[in-house]
Structure 1
Amino acid sequence: MNTKLPDHISTELLIRHFSGLASKEEELVLMHWTNTSVENKELLRELHILWADTGAISTPNTDYKKRDIDAAWQKVLAQKPVSPTNGTYTLLKIAAIILVMVGVGYLVRFLQDPQKTYTTHSTVGNIQLEDGSVVALNEASQLTYPGSFSTEERRVALSGEAFFEITPNPNQPFIIEAGPTQIRVLGTSFNVKVDDKSVTVIVETGTVQFTRGNESVLIVQGEKATFSNTTETLSPAQKTSSVGLEQFWRTKSLRFSGEKLPEVIRTIEEAYATQIKLGSEKLSDCSLSVTFNNDTLENILDVIALTLNLEISQTDQQYILTGKGCTDY
């Protein structure tokens, strides 16, 4: 049975919301969905009525009496519709959702197997899900997931950044709720970063469907796409950089292939959260081809200085690179 709602809100998320078990990230997803239309707000209001009238809030079992359901449904039918057209459409949607809520027995399974939360603070963490999928969680991130996935889908919620290696299962898609967006895959590896400004998906292997509302983009290996919270737009897929900065938090590797020194410096500054200044405009002509793996910042700067015949000095706030330039390199 399909448990999807319009605009990709799942029945499971609604049940967690009504039961008071939804995470802050899930509540944010529901808020975004509710605010997309008056119809969605009305639908949520009607569902609150049905949820309360069927006793679902206080009754953690599936022994619902048909007469209780019918009575609740008649109460909804007695409500004044939003409009002759939209009201009928809304009632049809509610009918379908209620059939799912009281028919599949999901609530019992969910209450017996509540959501789990894995949170990282100042270190990177790794977790293996019950389907064998592996998730690497960056610092200051949180993954919410069930102890056992449903038979129809594997759904989790992410706040922060994580790299996913998903066990293939064409009959059970893996779905990530990431802020106001959703990522859907069958089996692949990819990175997801969620912050206040945007949601970015970078695909390492396979194909990922990245969705926000009615917008959707397919991202393949070596591509990325971003949803902007400011403009509320989903970018087309584009090629990722070969340098490796976007995965540095996990791989600790940077690969430069002829990049100009200013770009190399900007990359290192972001990767190591430091400040580096070029002492002369002449150094902008320098280029670098080198790979760094698990190197300290000091060792990286030493390699650059030795390769390009530069000098390194340091103040309290930054490193400074000086030299004659690279016209002969």
Structure 2
Amino acid sequence: MSKQQNIAITEALLIKYLAGEASPEEALAIDEWVEQTPDNNRLLQQYLQLWSHAGKEGAYTAPDLQRELQRLNIDTSLPTGSRKTPVLRTLFIRRAVAVVFMVALGAALLVFFQPWKTAKAPLMLALTSSNDILRDTLPDHSRVTLAPGSRLEHPASFDGADRTVQLQGEGYFSIAPNASKPFIVRTGTADIKVIGTAFNVKTNKDSVTIAMDNGAVLFFDNHDSVIVKGGMQSVYQVDTHRFSVTKMEGGNDYAYATKTFHFEATRLELVVSALEKAYNVKIVLENKKLADCTITTSFTDMPIQYVMEVITASLSLQYHMEGSTIYVQGNECN
């Protein structure tokens, strides 16, 4: 009697054989067992089909034991006593179908928990202006100027379908044109969508205000939208979700970014406010009545000293600077 004839062909041994873990003696014993009858050979082929099926990749679905048995032409309708299928065969097939479940479930969990398969959120950067005006260039070469106390969050690179940033406070944007990738400014209430233009956005808890320098934008929320063109101004009221669009009176509200001022019969009080914001200085009118003086003039990218010389000379006033504070003296205007 050969050594192989002393090896019992059990379910555990067949599993080792299919997994390639059987010893040479065990493999020879199974080979001899297969050659003994056509039924044994056919049974092994059916086991191999189940094993191959269990190793296939794919989305997880719960195994259907009856379907698997029927798919392999194994009769499941006969009473237990009349089946010709050996008990070993039935037990193995049922357990092999269970292997399908375990392998598929394990593969599904592996795919789910693999960190390299998970889409990563883009790296976000933040620009924050504290007490000074901040100027910077975004990854798409668009330029942004932030008023003091403002914050802008943007991705390190605009790799998605659009160029989206998040603004808190006030910022002036000069957008690099890109028709296939719109630029979107989110404010938390109403948003602005542009392709290429220059505009100013000012946000607070009650409203969002857009002042258009040139071009056009879509100003929208979840309920409504308006198109705002160059030379126009739009205000969105947070509580009512309403937009208003009016003609803009000059562009001095965003002169902090452009350093371009247009004053036409403008009260000195408003002139002072625009200059303080643009140059980050404090201007004190020592005679309060000077606030009602009016002036018509323009400046483009001039130093504050030059601007003050022109204004005070035009109104017959005097000024002096102490650090970042400018004091203006003189009689009230006629």
Range of TM-score over shorter length? 0.5 to 0.7
Alpha-carbon distance between aligned partners in 2 of 1:197 and 1:279, rounded to the nearest angstrom: 30
Question: What's 1:239 paired with?
Answer: 247
Question: What's 1:129 paired with?
Answer: 138
Confirm whether residue 158 of structure 1 aligns to residue 158 of structure 2.
no
Give the CA deviation at 1:279: 5.4
Unaligned segments of structure 2, at least 5 residues: 1-56, 63-111
Question: What's 1:147 paired with?
Answer: 156
Are 1:212 and 1:234, in contact at CA under 8 Å, matched by a contact in 2? no
SS at 1:289 equivalent: strand
Confirm whether residue 289 of structure 1 aligns to residue 290 of structure 2.
no
SS at 2:310 equivalent: helix
What do the CA deviations read for 1:274-309 (whole angstroms, capped 9, x no partner)?
44254558x94x54222344443x664553332233
How do residues 15-164 of structure 1 correspond to structure 2 at under 5 angstroms? 65=59, 108-111=118-121, 113-164=122-173
The amino acid that maps onto 2:252 is: L
Give the CA deviation at 1:208: 0.5
What do the CA deviations read for 1:66-123 (whole angstroms, capped 9, x no partner)?
759xxxxxxxxxxxxxxxxxxxxxxxxxxxxxxxxx9xxxx94533x32232323233
Equivalent of residue 192 in structure 1, options 179, 182, 201: 201
Question: What's 2:255 paired with?
Answer: 248
Question: What's 1:178 paired with?
Answer: 187
Give the CA deviation at 1:166: 1.8
If asked which structure has higher relative contact order (CA below 8 Å, sep 6+), I would say 1
Q: 1:198 to 1:274 in 2, by over 3 A?
A: farther
Structure (1 or 2) with the larger CA radius of gyration: 2
The amino acid that maps onto 1:323 is: N
SS at 2:153 equivalent: strand
Q: 1:300 to 1:131 in 2, by over 3 A?
A: closer
Aligned-residue sequence identity (percent) comes to: 26
What do the CA deviations read for 1:235-268 (whole angstroms, capped 9, x no partner)?
32212222x4311322334322333445545555
Confirm whether residue 209 of structure 1 aligns to residue 218 of structure 2.
yes
Alpha-carbon distance between aligned partners in 1 of 2:60 and 2:125, rounded to the nearest angstrom: 33
Alpha-carbon distance between aligned partners in 1 of 2:133 and 2:209, rounded to the nearest angstrom: 19
Alpha-carbon distance between aligned partners in 1 of 2:181 and 2:155, rounded to the nearest angstrom: 14
Give the CA deviation at 1:182: 0.9
| TM-score normalised by the chain length of structure 2 | 0.54
| TM-score normalised by the chain length of structure 1 | 0.55
**How large is the RMSD of aligned CA atoms in angstroms?**
3.6
Q: 1:67 to 1:253 in 2, by over 3 A?
A: farther
Unaligned segments of structure 1, at least 5 residues: 1-62, 69-101
Q: 1:289 to 1:179 in 2, by over 3 A?
A: same
Give the CA deviation at 1:178: 0.9
